Amino acid sequence: MKIYTRKGDQGKTGVFGGKREYKDSPRIECNGAIDEANSTLGYLRAKLGVDHAWQPNLHRIQKDLMDMMSHLARPSDSNKENKNPKPVDGAEFCEQWMDQLEAEIDEPSDYFLLPGGTEISALCHMIRTQVRRGERRLVSLAHEDPDCVEDYIAAYLNRLSDLFFILARHEMHHAGVKEERWQLFLYKRIKKDK
- Largest distance between two CA atoms of the chain: 67
3-state secondary structure of 161: helix
Residue-by-residue DSSP string for 114-160:
-S-SSHHHHHHHHHHHHHHHHHHHHHHHHHH-TTTS-HHHHHHHHHH
Pairing of strands 181-184, 111-113: antiparallel
pLDDT attached to residue 189: 56
Domain architecture of the chain: domains with CATH: 22-71+91-193 (1.20.1200.10)
Q: Which residues of the chain have pLDDT under 70?
A: 3-18, 20-23, 108, 186-194
**What type of residue sits at position 9?**
D
Please tell me the distance from the alpha carbon of residue 74 to that of residue 14, in angstroms, as a whole number: 10
CB 181 within 8 A of CB 122: no
